[in-house]
Amino acid sequence: MSNLFNMPDEVAHGFSRSAKDFLNALAGIPASAAVAPALLHEAGARYWEQQWALWTDMLNPQAAGDEARRDPRFRADEWTGNAWYNLLRQCYLANGGLLEDMVGATGYDEREKHRLRFFMRQFIDAASPTNYAATNPEAIRMAIESNGESLRAGMTNLIGDLARGTITITDEAAFEVGRNVAVSKGAVVFENALFQLIQYAPLGTHVAKRPLLVVPPCINKFYILDLQPENSFVRFAVEQGQTVFMVSWRNPDAQTAHTTWDDYLESGVMEAIDIALAITSADKVNTVGWCVGGTILSSALAVIRAREEDKVASLTLLTTMLDFTDPGDLGVFIDEQTVLQRERSIGSGGIYPGRELGFVFQMLRANDLIWPYVINNYLKGRNPAAFDLLYWNADSTNLPGPMYTWYLRNMYLENNLRVPAKLTMCGVPVDLGRIDMPAYVLATQEDHIVPWKSAWRSTGLLGGETQFVLGASGHIAGVINPATKNKRCYWVGGDENSNAASDAEGWFASAQQAPGTWWNHWIAWLQPHAGGRVKARTKLGSTKFRPIEPAPGRYVKVRSG
C-alpha cells in the first residue's frame, strides 16, 4: 500500500514532525511544551469512565445503537448487534478520544497544537477497524457470500490503483468533458499560453450590457461551475441574462513551468477583462472569483486600481481567502522549512504535480475521500459509482513552481496580501483597500478549505461596500447549490456595523436565515450593476476576437500525467 499512498513532501514532513513533537510533549521535552497534569488527569479519568461503560454495554449492545449509526463507518448491524464488534468499536473510539485529549493536554501554542491534532486525527482515522478486512464485518460477510469473489475483485482494483498511483473515487469512464459535463454552448474567443477565454451563448433575447467574467481556481478545472445543465452555475447566470465569459486555465507543463503570479494577473485576469470589454463594447465588467481564483482576481483588481483604471463594476468572491490568519487545516502543511524546500526545488522553474495537491485535499476529509473508497474498492471489491462532482475532483491540475511557491510564502506563510503596499505585483504596490467597487462575499459554514470566519475577514480589507453571505454546507456543495433544486439555506443581513475582521460571530448573531440557495440572492444583488439591458448578440466573439473552437475548448481537456 505504500505506493498507493505516496505522500507529498509536505505530508511526509508533517507526519514525521508531528510524531516527534507528540513524543517530546509526552516526555516533557522541551519543558515549555510539557503536558498539563490537570488536563492529562481529566483525559485519563474520562477514558476509564468510557472503558467501564463499554464493558457494561456488552451486556446490552443495542443501548449504543443509535449513537453508533450516526457515524457512517459503523452503520452495519454487527457494530451494535454483535458483542465483539460492539466492544471493538467502542474501544477504538475511546482510544482515539484519549489520543486527542492527550494532544489537548500538551503545552504547545495553538498553531502547533492544531498541526499535531490534525496528524493525530489522520492516524486515528487510519486505525479504524472498518478499514481492515479482518475487522470489517461487511467485508467478511461479502467474502463468505461470494465465495471469495469480492476479495479477488478487490485485489484487482488495488492492483489497478497502484498502477495509476491514486485511489479511484468514481467511474471516470461515465463522463467526458464536453460530452456530459461542461456542455453549456459557447466558444473559445481568445487563447494564449496561460488560458483560454470562453464566451457562452445567450439563452434569451436580451442580456445585461456589462458582461460577467468568471475566474475559477487554477488548482482545479473550471467545469465545477458547469457540470451538467441542472447544476450549472454558468447556465444559471446565462439564463438570468448575463453574458458570461469564463477563464479556462491551461494545465501547466514544461512549456509553462516558469509562469509567475504576476503572469496570472497580467496575462490572465487583466487580459480577460480587456477582451470581454472589447467584445461587448461595455464600459465595465462584473467579476466572480472562486477560492484561489478569487485571490488572483482580487490581486488583479488591486493592480488595476493602483494604475487608476476603472474597468470593473462589481466583485463577487466565492469561498475566498484574502487574509490568511487562519488558513484552516491546510495551514498544517505549511511552515518555513517546507516552503523553503519547495522554493529550492521548483521556485525558479518546475511543476508541482496536481496529483500531489489532490492527495493533500483528500487528507483534509479522509473519512469522506480516502477510507470509504479503500473499503468499497478493495475490501468489498466494488467499483465506485458515477458521480460528476467526484469526476471533477479527480481531474487534477498542475501548478507552475514559481507561481505556487510565491503564493505559499506570501499568502499562507507570511500573510502579506492583507498589509497595504507590502506586496508589489506587476510593478505596483497593491492595497486591497483600493478595491472600491461593491463586493459580494460568500462563505460556507462547513468549509474545510476556507474557514468561513477567514472569508469574513475580506469585508474588513476591501474598500467598497460589501455584502457578506454565509451559505450552508461546505466548500463545494455550499457553492454548487443550484436554483433548480433550491435546497439548504443561507444567512444574510447581519449587522453591517460589525464589519471588523474579529467580529464574524457578531455578524452571525444578528443575521437572518433564509431558505434555499444563495444563487437567487446573488443574482438580485448583481442586477443593479448590470449597466442596463441590450439586445443579445447573435454571434460570439468579434471581428478582432473570432471564435477559435467550441466550448469547453482544448485546455480543459488536458489531464495531468
- Cα(467)–Cα(442) distance, integer angstroms: 8
| Strand-pair category, 285-290 with 312-318 | parallel
**Residue corresponding to grid cell 453591517:** 496
Contacts of 221 (CB under 8 A, 6+ apart): 177, 392, 395, 397, 556
Where do runs of H (alpha helix) occur along 281-346?
Answer: 292-306, 336-346
Grid coordinates given for 300: 488583479
Catalytic residues: 291
Amino acid (one-letter) located at 347 = G
Cα separation of 285 and 425, whole Å? 22
- Residues 6 or more apart in contact with residue 272 via CB below 8 angstroms: 190, 195, 197, 213, 215, 245, 247
Q: Which residues pair with 191 in a beta bridge?
A: 196
- What is d(CA 137, CA 114) in angstroms, rounded to the nearest whole number? 34
Rounded distance, CA 524 to CA 528, Å? Answer: 8
CA 356/CA 17 separation, integer angstroms: 19
SS3 476: coil
**Contact yes or no for 391/181 (Cβ under 8 A):** yes
- Quick one: which H or E segment has residue 466? strand 466-471
**Cell numbers that stand for 292 in this block:** 484561489
Q: Give the angle 62-68-69 at the CA atoms, nearest 5°.
A: 100
Rounded to 5 degrees, φ, ψ at 190 are: -165, 150
CB of 178 within 8 A of CB of 505?
A: no
